[in-house]
Amino acid sequence: MIAKGFQPKTPLYKKKMPKEYIASPLKITADIEGLSLKSISEHYKLYEGYVKKVKEIREKIDAADKSAPNATYSELGELKRQETFAVNGAKLHEVFFKSLGPTSQELRGASGKVADMIIRDFGSMENWVSDMTAAGLSSRGWVIAAYDLNEERIRNYSADAHNLGVVYGCIPLVALDVYEHAYFMDHGTSRKAYIEAFFKNLNWKAVDENLILSGR
């Protein structure tokens, strides 16, 4: 269910969309606090891999035999299941990389519309970070702070895999990747240290841009 009065600020149907899904460029060009460029660059390669797989899977879906669909096993069924894994893997990584900014007080300061909403919905920024951190230490894959279009508030959701735990009717604002590949190069097994570094580099301007799609 979409919240009453929902109107995207940018009418998507008027935009000329690309013919194929392409990877968003990595804008980070140097080490940021607690996260090395080497680690971020290697992580970005995984994202590029998901985008390539989306294209490959969709080409195979177009060519798949659709005359014998079956929920237990069919070529089309398996391709469609893996499409959601690849697409969500790409989309979540786009939010993740967009959320990381250069070490700048202007970008790192917890200010803006989303920051104000977080304080409204969680009582304080500290409460929100604590909840995200606890979820990040409990999840096997992702933690997503998302704006619920129906409840008109922000909630933190965990996803143990790209296509497990996905909540529809929400706009992802912050995506925290807690798979080991996101932090082993810089932090070894210390996921908590990595999560702390993530929040130190959170780009609040980019987070606010993610809210635009909700029309809020």
**Domains in the chain: boundaries:** 35-214
Residue 8: predicted pLDDT: 54
Query: What's the predicted TM-score (pTM) here?
Result: 0.87
Rounded Cα distance, 58 and 37, in Å: 32
Q: In the chain, what is the greatest distance between 2 CA atoms, to the nearest angstrom? A: 58
Closest CA to 89 of 122, 48, 131: 48
Rounded Cα distance, 124 and 120, in Å: 7
Residue 111: predicted pLDDT: 80
Q: Nearest 5°: phi and psi at 168?
A: -85, 165
Task: Please report, for residues 5, 63, 128, 172, 193, the alpha-carbon distance to residue 69 in angstroms, rounded to integers and kept in the order given.
Answer: 39, 14, 44, 32, 47
Count the Cβ atoms, other than its own, within 10 Å of residue 7: 8
Per-residue pLDDT of the chain (216 residues; tens, 9 = 90+): 444 554 555 555 556 666 678 999 999 999 999 999 999 999 999 999 999 999 999 999 999 989 989 999 999 999 999 999 999 999 999 999 999 976 444 445 678 899 999 999 999 999 999 999 999 999 999 999 999 999 999 999 999 998 888 888 999 999 999 999 999 999 999 999 999 999 999 999 899 999 987 676
Rounded Cα distance, 20 and 47, in Å: 16
What helix, strand, coil percent values describe the chain, rounded to 5?
50, 15, 35
Q: What is the DSSP letter of 203?
A: -
- Secondary-structure class of domain 35-214 per CATH: alpha beta
Rounded Cα distance, 203 and 98, in Å: 8
Residue 118: predicted pLDDT: 96
